[in-house]
Amino acid sequence: MDLLTHSIGLSHYLIVGVVLFVCGVVCMTIKRNAVGVLMGIELVLNGANVNFIAFGSPQLAGGGSLGLDGQFIAIFVMVLAAAEAAVALAIALCFYHNHATIDVDRGNELNG
Amino acid sequence: MQAIHWDSFFFLFFALMTCVFAIAVVVSSNIVRMATYLVASLCGVAGLFFLAGAQFLGAMQLMLYVGGTVVLLVFGVMLTAKGPFVSMRSGGGQWIVALLVGGSLLAVLLQTVAVVQPIAKSRPVAEASADQPTTTQLGAGLVGVRTDQVGQGSGNGGQTSVYAGYLLPFEIISLHLLVVLVGAAFLARAKRRVAPREQGLEL
Amino acid sequence: MAQALIEKLDGWGFHWLAQQGWIVYLLIGLVQVALILALVMTCVAVYTWMERKISGRIQDRMGPTRVGGRFGWLQPAADGLKLLCKEDIVPAAADGLLFRVAPYLDFCAAFIPFLALPFAPGWVVQPLDTAVFFIVAIGGLEVLGVILAGYASGSKWSLYGAMREAAQVVSFEIPLGMCVVVPVLMAGTMNLTDIAEQQRGWLWNWNLVNPFALVTFVIYMVCATASANRAPFDLPEAESELVAGFMTEYSGFRWAMFFMAEYCAMFLLALLGAILFCGGWNGPVPIATWLGLAADPHHWTFLGFLGNCLGCTNLIIKGVLGVIFMMWLRWTLPRLRIDQVMTTCLKYCVPLASIMLIGTMATVFVVRGGLASPPPHKTEETPVKQRTESPLSLRERVRVRADGTHAIDSRLPSPPAPLPDGKGSLVTPVAQEGVS
């Protein structure tokens, strides 16, 4: 009940960012579907955004906050993540056209 | 019993929503369910943004990620699925390696978070929430007028730091988006389908 | 408001309740949401009746005339009862969880924007400074509910309908967003309350008067119709072509949820258009001002409350007129093919909206002398008491303090002009500091 009675600080937000980041990394490593890997990438970028917003919030980070810089960086990260998701999905579609499957384990033509 | 901070309650709610659904994305094997869980997780992140005082960012997160990127992902799923409800499971060995990697990364990052000194809060949450930057302040910051930093006076005589705002990166990413539009449309154009290598009969 | 209520409770002796402030917040939130839900659900029920009556009259027939007297006004109740009593069918090939979740997701996405929509000055569940952006963003979530519904049904008709719907809604979000930026540009703020308050007064204060904004309003209505999947853009639920599109496998209450979501979305878009372009709760004639019912935001008066009721009614009438317009379109125009829908969006709406946006920028630049300048004061005919706190120009609002920081004052009232009989201002100016 300690969390409910005390105000939330910076480290709480950072923990959420960490969990998102790690989930994204595990998703990227474990998923065989290329679109699943893309979802992992989105989770990673969102974890980073949570970090930036937490550091940019004056009520959480107090005197050491990034101020509006955190929000600007988060804006840029969001836009670039959307752009990168579009290109990555186009690449996944190319992969599907060439291999007739979206399973990334099948992309082993360069092996050995 | 001490009074419950209602904003802590909402933070817990959104944080749990985010984390639980992010773990569900990893664990689930059905790709469309993964997309749904991702939507829920990103909505939780948007809620966290609103709570941290970034209203514009929260709305932007909802519009871009949930309304855009996830729809894109679902389109990708539809276009690349051979049959309904495809599910590809990874082997046990791969799961062990992935969990090892994830676990060690989690340990390292949590330790880093614990090291971050809690900076003394200058204002309690309730009154600081009245200072949420609106789009006016964000827009002003783009052109170089900052409301939250000391020593950025552009009206003073000799300025030590030249802060021109974030307008140039903004324009650059706009062009970047245009390039991405054209490039993705070109990459994903319809081409002649190649038969799969393993099954020679299926065309 | 919640803080004031907590203090009052403390004064009356409910100390434990006052300490647990969250209960008060929860109760207030629940009451507000219940009010909005009651309003929206009533309107949706009335719209189902109106749809059948209007379609009947346009098609030269009567519409419902039996249930509830000569005009069949109890028909929505009968429809609702029938839908509730229907058998709950889930197809065997359907993904159970997603099939059940999709209608509620769609309804949530259609209903949540009402929380940021003001019905009168001060009558908004959650006053957001980025209200316009929030509403447009959440409105874009409906497509997710539709895609899930189509995919989870496990039927090819549903999937076709869902994919077409997704393509259509996502494409029309672009011109819709651009149309919505035009009044934001004219008002200088994304706060819906401020945008409507700046259109206070006579008809010529409305944003529609600007010719670029007028064309933008037309484009907005077209995009809103397409966004809500109403004819002539209703290919995703085309009854004669795709059985029922993404709703094919849904029956009973789940189907009712989808239809409630559609009517909610139509109502929301009509209300948003009314606030952005048609003055919101300010009528074409300032009746509230004549009757002395204008509300003072700083202290509650019964007359102010009546004025707000009048404004709220005005806004709802405008929303209903917008919905009637969309219904009228449905039964007048034939359905567009999907490639025609895409052509309308990408070849007509997007370039037109861009040109209108540039034109509005030019208007604001020329007429007001700068993109960050305030709208002209329309205070000659209105007494000082209802003068809105219109924003000053960005240049005037940015002050350099002694330590070199900048401060943006969020809202400074204009210097009050003296009343005709020479008395001073009745409104005490409220200066709010921006982020320091």
Write the pLDDT tens digit of every residue in B41-64.
999 999 999 988 888 899 999 989
Residues of B in contact with C398 (CB under 8 A): 140, 145, 147
Greater pLDDT, A41 or B198: A41
How close A66 comes to chain B (CA, Å)? Answer: 9
Of the three residues C64, C85, C106, the one that is the final residue of a domain is: C85
C111 in the same domain as C72:
no
pLDDT score, position A42: 94
Band of the pLDDT at B131, cuts 50, 70, 90? Answer: low
For helices B70-80 and A34-55, give the axis angle rounded to 10 degrees: 170
Q: Which of residues 82-101 of B touch A (CB under 8 A)?
A: 82, 86, 88-90, 94-95, 97-99, 101
The CA–CA distances, whole Å, from A4 to A66, A87, B4, C29, C47 equal 26, 42, 5, 19, 44
Paired with C432 in beta bridges are C411
Please name each of the domains of chain A with its CATH number: 31-104 (1.10.287.3510)
Q: What residue has token string 């609002």?
A: C397
Q: Do C151 and B78 touch (CB under 8 A)?
A: yes
- Is B162 within 8 Å of chain A by CB? no
Tens of pLDDT, residue by residue over C351-392, are: 999 999 999 989 888 877 655 555 554 333 333 333 344 445
Q: What one-character DSSP code corresponds to residue C236? A: G
pLDDT score, position C309: 87
Range of the domain at C71: 1-85
pLDDT score, position C408: 60
**Would you tell me how many other CB atoms lie within 10 Å of the CB of residue C240?**
6
Q: Can you tell me the distance from the alpha carbon of B110 to that of B115, in angstroms, rounded to the nearest whole number? A: 9
Q: Do C148 and B30 touch (CB under 8 A)?
A: no
Residues of B in contact with A39 (CB under 8 A): 25, 34-35, 38, 73
C154 in the same domain as C42:
no
- Who contacts C146 (Cβ-Cβ below 8 Å, separation ≥6)? C102, C106, C162, C165, C166, C169, C236, C246
Greater pLDDT, A31 or C431: A31
C185 in the same domain as C74:
no
* A1-9 mean pLDDT: 73
pLDDT score, position B83: 62
C63 in the same domain as C159:
no
For C391, name the nearest residue in chain B, comparing CA atoms only: B136
Is C393 contained in some domain?
no
pLDDT score, position B126: 37
- Is A16 within 8 Å of chain B by CB? yes
Q: Which residue ranges in chain C fall short of pLDDT 70?
A: 1-4, 14, 16-22, 236-244, 293-299, 369-436
pLDDT score, position C324: 93
Tens of pLDDT, residue by residue over B49-105, are: 998 888 889 999 998 998 888 788 788 777 776 665 556 777 888 899 999 999 999
Is C407 contained in some domain?
no
Q: What is the ipTM of this complex?
A: 0.92
C94 in the same domain as C42:
no
Q: Which of these, C102, C128, C171, lies nearest to C343 by C-alpha position?
A: C171
Q: Which of these, C412, C123, C184, lies nearest to B135 by C-alpha position?
A: C184
C134 in the same domain as C247:
yes
pLDDT score, position B199: 47
pLDDT score, position C298: 64
Of the three residues C324, C348, C368, the one that is the final residue of a domain is: C368
Q: Do B63 and C137 touch (CB under 8 A)?
A: yes
Tens of pLDDT, residue by residue over A44-53, are: 999 999 999 9
The number of distinct structural domains making up chain C is 2
Is C434 contained in some domain?
no
Residues of A in contact with B194 (CB under 8 A): 97-100
- Who contacts C265 (Cβ-Cβ below 8 Å, separation ≥6)? C110, C139, C142, C227, C228
Tens of pLDDT, residue by residue over A81-94, are: 999 999 999 998 88
- Is A5 within 8 Å of chain B by CB? yes
Considering only CB atoms, B155 lies closest to which of C20, C400, C435, namely: C400
Tens of pLDDT, residue by residue over B110-127, are: 998 888 765 554 444 333
C249 in the same domain as C354:
yes
From the candidates C30, C147, C148, which should be mutated to test the interface with B, based on the most B CB atoms within 10 A? C147
Band of the pLDDT at B173, cuts 50, 70, 90? Answer: very high
C96 in the same domain as C39:
no
Q: Give the helix ranges, DSSP H, for chain B.
A: 6-27, 31-51, 55-61, 70-80, 92-115, 125-128, 135-143, 167-187
Counted across chains B and C, CB pairs separated by less than 8 A come out at 137
Q: What one-character DSSP code corresponds to residue C405? A: -
C320 in the same domain as C350:
yes
Q: Can you tell me the distance from the alpha carbon of A42 to that of A28, in angstroms, rounded to the nearest whole number? A: 10
C314 in the same domain as C198:
yes
CATH class of the domain comprising B1-89: mainly alpha
How close B92 comes to chain A (CA, Å)? Answer: 10
C184 in the same domain as C277:
yes
C91 in the same domain as C80:
no
The CA–CA distances, whole Å, from C153 to A38, B76, C101 equal 25, 18, 12
